[in-house]
Amino acid sequence: SAVISQKPSRDICQRGTSLTIQCQVDSQVTMMFWYRQQPGQSLTLIATANQGSEATYESGFVIDKFPISRPNLTFSTLTVSNLSPEDSSIYLCSGWTGVAAGELFFGEGSRLTVL
Amino acid sequence: AQSVTQPDIHITVSEGASLELRCNYSYGATPYLFWYVQSPGQGLQLLLKYFSGDTLVQGIKGFEAEFKRSQSSFNLRKPSVHWSDAAEYFCAVGARDRGSTLGRLYFGRGTQLTVWP
């Protein structure tokens, strides 16, 4: 199985600041994605992290608020900018291992609390 | 666009009883279908998946699911539930048509399973 490491695992931030989450995957992963899981809710896809180019965002998510980088195959960052209490969520990095294996693996998540 | 409906927010069963969690999807063609489990404080773990072929798929921990195209359903079943199965279960759908980004999954809202001893 693919190994996906995220950090920080949790953080408490002040309103108006930003938080950058790092995600490291192993080489089995072909595609990387970022999800948000709000308290008691399901997972919502934020964007597809594209290697060396701008991420592809889902409806309702914009680059100014959620800038994403993926400088190489195995590393990506998600920044949540201009934080508000509504951004308090778990943010999950995920990696797809391709059709042959066909599994989307998830990191442990980064729990963000905004005061 | 794809969507997933899990009509049951919370299900309670007794240990040893059978279980069925419902999942319906909306998609123009045959999608990729998945069931994930999330235990408290844990990450998401894949239980099983359907890509093609036999419509009854076996997964880990004794779970199985059946793809029914006519009903756009992918219900999860287990013949005898164990207390350790108490968790949140998510059904997910992924596109498989040409031009779609494989691995881009959309999740249902989840079903919380409580198991009584």
pLDDT in tens, A7-20: 999 999 999 999 99
Q: Average pLDDT, stretch B18-23?
A: 98
Report d(CA A40, CA B41) in Å as an integer.
Answer: 12
Residue of B92 and B43 predicted with greater confidence: B92
Report the candidate in A45, A38, A42 with the shortest Cα–Cα distance to residue B36.
A42
Q: Is the pLDDT at B113 greater than 80, yes or no?
A: yes
Q: Is A43 within 8 Å of chain B by CB?
A: yes
Q: B107 vs A42: CB contact, 8 Å cut-off?
A: yes
Phi/psi region, residue A73 (left: phi>0; alpha: psi -120 to 50; beta: rest), is alpha
pLDDT tens-digit series, residues A40-64: 888 999 999 988 889 999 999 999 9
Relative to beta strand B56-58, strand A110-114 is unpaired
Q: Does the distance separating the beta carbons of B102 and A31 come in below 8 Å?
A: yes
Bridge partners of residue B64, in order along the sequence: B58, B77
Chain B hits for A96, CB-CB cut-off 8 Å, are 102-103
Q: Which of A6-10, A60-64, A86-90, B41-45 has the lowest mean pLDDT?
A: B41-45
CA distance B71 to chain A (A): 23
